[in-house]
Structure 1
């Protein structure tokens, strides 16, 4: 498991724990059933992979 995979798994776990906690002070987690995290997951993951690919091969 690479570092970027571990970071994404950690961020997903933190997001899930904050969703379970009902009195979370972050309104962005409660907006439309956590929609921002759902919309940003794949673009952020693919962006990191693209950046690392560019760093390694160019």
Structure 2
């Protein structure tokens, strides 16, 4: 959980956009790791797509 509690706030403070929460899974779920990774990737892709659409409307002088 260090990603969400330590890294994300640091990156945000430095001006970065953090597109989603960290990805965690239980080791008992290792058999389903491919499916879990695909689901996480789809969530991140949706979030990044939304950010990209927002950024299209922003003009930086």
Which bracket does the TM-score occupy, shorter chain normalised?
A: 0.3 to 0.5
Q: Report the TM-score, using the length of structure 2 for normalisation.
A: 0.41
Whichever of the two has the greater Rg, that structure is: 2
Q: Which has the higher contact order (CA 8 A, sep 6+)?
A: 2
TM superposition score normalised by structure 1? 0.42
Larger relative helix fraction: 1
